[in-house]
Amino acid sequence: MLLEAASPLVAATLVAAGTAYGICVLTVKPMAPAGTPTPVLGHVYYLTMGAGLAISLAVILMTLPLLGRITAPGSARFE
């Protein structure tokens, strides 16, 4: 269950980071004068992305015990 929840979060984080860098380059490159270095996202952006990913994974980890109790064979009802 953890793998099913964590892999989309990690993939979405990587796509968001790549998209942000691509947009940063595509918007600055045409407007900047010739010879301007390619912009680089700051460490604050990556820290924010990492913190969001860590908080999301922590929420998933906190719900796993509840999920285990709900789906235990003893709590299943067959009628």
Query: Tens digits of per-residue pLDDT, 12-70?
Result: 888 988 888 888 888 887 887 888 787 777 889 889 988 988 998 898 888 888 877 77
Distance, CA of 28 to CA of 1 (rounded, Å): 41
Distance, CA of 15 to CA of 43 (rounded, Å): 17
Residue type, 12: A
The pLDDT value recorded for residue 27 is 82
Q: Residue 79: CB partners within 8 Å, gap ≥ 6?
A: none
* pLDDT level of residue 76 (50, 70, 90 thresholds): low
